[in-house]
Amino acid sequence: MPLFGTDGVRGLANGPLTADLALHLAQATAVVLGQGRTATARRAAGKRPTAVVARDPRVSGEFLSAAVSAGLASSGVDVLDAGVLPTPAAAFLIGDIDADFGVMVSASHNPAPDNGIKIFARGGVKLPDVVEQRIEAALDGDMLQPTGAGVGRIRRFADAEDRYVVHLLGSLPHRLDGLHVVLDCAHGAAAGVSPETFRDAGARVTVIGADPDGLNINDGVGSTHLDQLARKVREVGADVGIAHDGDADRCLAVDAAGRIVDGDQIMAILAVAMKDRGRLVDDTLVATVMSNLGLHRAMAENGIRVVQTAVGDRYVLEAMNKNGYSLGGEQSGHVIMSDFATTGDGLLTGLHLVAEMARQGKSLAELASVMTVFPQVLLNVRDVDRTRVASDEVLQAEVEAVQAELGDTGRVLLRASGTEALVRVMVEAADAASAQSYADRIAAVVRERLAA
């Protein structure tokens, strides 16, 4: 089983993901990424390569980030410890200070016992598969072992948060004055920086989920649990609610009535607004195969082309970078605005969404009406052999039969999880009952044919 999944190395902290693994993974990363042109030039000039290290507030992040920093420093890399910050902040800072690479310790929207290690290359970009494979292979090779002045130093990145906030505020097309925003920070990495930034942008802010204790990250709050946010928006009469996940690379929203506005709707709003302002490159939006059929129809009605990728923000990023597109993302709330970020940024997305409300003088419900959401059912079929999804002819025939019955009024997607022993069945249809019926029908075949 490969060490890297769809978004770095992830697992139960102190289970598969140990301090020893974190240290050796950092050393292997130093071997692969610490030998680039810039790092080599720095060494030739008597300087050491530099890496940014950050984490979310889950308790295991303390020992894992310490192990990462130790592994890097022992390999001759200077470490700037940014402390608790969102993943997109770490990515931004790598590019901002021209570091050679960086490491984020976070399991994103996963529960507190899990953790993960995400590695970014120079410029704050995610690693392609081939580089991850090189790092994994380097674990079995010789590590760098400098001594004396060649050993790296670990220093606090004192102005990391300030740099990130200034960057976010400088990206806005309009201030947020006059709008009341409820922020759900998921007891995660956004708890300190998100309320401050929204207030600096002019919004009146009410905050929930901003008391991280290391164990409560994503626990009943954040982008995967929107009920509390919806209740709070209605309770205080706010204009909009913004939800982050644990490492704040996602953004979902609720309107003034507490109705959910997902990543597809957010992308639709931003795409139309960016096209109107001449900022949507080639009038193109990049989205994954999981995006709602309603997004495709809304974009077509507004003269915007949709380029589809496999599921995962890394694949969205690859398509965007290859063609220079300025907007892309996922239904889950990973939205990438490449003019300002190299990865999904929940704070950036939320700020720009609310800025459009202010700029156009419209409610979120009015903006979201640009897209009609098709009923969508997503079922996770667990404890099955996910490796046989594509090869099982009976299962594939059932999927084709359902798609034929739906015609152009719906869509079927069958996908094996990249990290768990499960298969995801997604069906869209003109009505919720049909979507559920078709999804249940395919899921039953998955259970029968792929029983582990």
Whether 249 has a binding-site annotation, put simply, is yes
Whether the pLDDT of residue 68 is over 80: the answer is: yes
Confidence band, pLDDT 50/70/90 cuts, at residue 270: very high
Q: Is the dihedral of CA 163, 114, 108, 124 positive or negative?
A: positive
Distance CA 263, CA 331 (A): 4
Confidence band, pLDDT 50/70/90 cuts, at residue 419: low
Distance CA 17, CA 131 (A): 20
Distance CA 188, CA 84 (A): 9
Q: Which of 230, 236, 9, 244 is nearest to 114 (CA)?
A: 9
Q: Domains along the chain?
A: 9-158 (3.40.120.10), 163-368 (3.40.120.10), 376-449 (3.30.310.50)
> Edge-to-edge, what's the strand order for the sheet holding 204-208?
204-208, 180-184, 240-243, 252-254, 260-261
Q: Give residue-wise pLDDT tens across range 99-124.
A: 999 999 999 999 999 999 999 999 99
Confidence band, pLDDT 50/70/90 cuts, at residue 41: confident
Whether the pLDDT of residue 39 is over 80: the answer is: no
Residue type present at position 44: A
Q: Residues 75, 106, 108, 194: which is the catalytic one?
A: 108
* C-alpha pair distances (Å), 24 with each of 89, 172, 291, 366: 25, 40, 38, 51
User: Taking a C-beta distance cutoff of 8 angstroms, is the pair 82, 52 a contact?
Assistant: yes
3-state secondary structure (DSSP) of residue 20? helix
Q: Which of 367, 357, 366 is nearest to 201 (CA)?
A: 357
Q: Name the most confidently modeled range: 5-9, 73-77, 413-417.
A: 73-77
Average pLDDT, integer, range 380-400: 91
Whether the pLDDT of residue 56 is over 70: the answer is: yes
User: Taking a C-beta distance cutoff of 8 angstroms, is the pair 242, 225 a contact?
Assistant: no
Whether 247 has a binding-site annotation, put simply, is yes
Residue located via tokens 């380097």: 138
| Start-end of H helices in 45-142 | 60-74, 87-96, 129-138
Confidence band, pLDDT 50/70/90 cuts, at residue 5: confident
DSSP per position, 253-303: EE-TT--EE-HHHHHHHHHHHHHHTT-SGGGEEEEETTS-HHHHHHHHHTT
* C-alpha pair distances (Å), 383 with each of 1, 318, 386, 417, 449: 17, 31, 9, 11, 12
Residue located via tokens 């922020």: 183
Distance CA 309, CA 213 (A): 37
Distance CA 79, CA 99 (A): 10
pTM, two decimals, is 0.90
Q: Is 75 a catalytic residue?
A: no
DSSP per position, 313-327: HHHHHHHHHHHT-SE
User: Taking a C-beta distance cutoff of 8 angstroms, is the pair 95, 123 a contact?
Assistant: yes
Distance CA 264, CA 114 (A): 27
pLDDT of residue 211: 98
CB contact burial 79-101 (16+ within 10 A = b; e otherwise): bbbbbbbbbbbbbbbbbbeebbb
> In terms of C-beta density within 10 A (0-12 exposed, 13-18 middle, 19 or more buried), how is residue 225 classed?
middle
pLDDT of residue 50: 97
> Which tokens sit at 368?
């979201």
Distance CA 232, CA 81 (A): 35
Residue predicted with more confidence, 446 or 38: 446
pLDDT of residue 430: 87
Q: Which of 59, 365, 86, 449 is nearest to 250 (CA)?
A: 86
Q: Give residue-wise pLDDT tens across range 162-203.
A: 999 999 999 999 999 999 999 999 999 999 999 999 999 999
Q: Which of 352, 356, 367, 317 is nearest to 338 (CA)?
A: 317
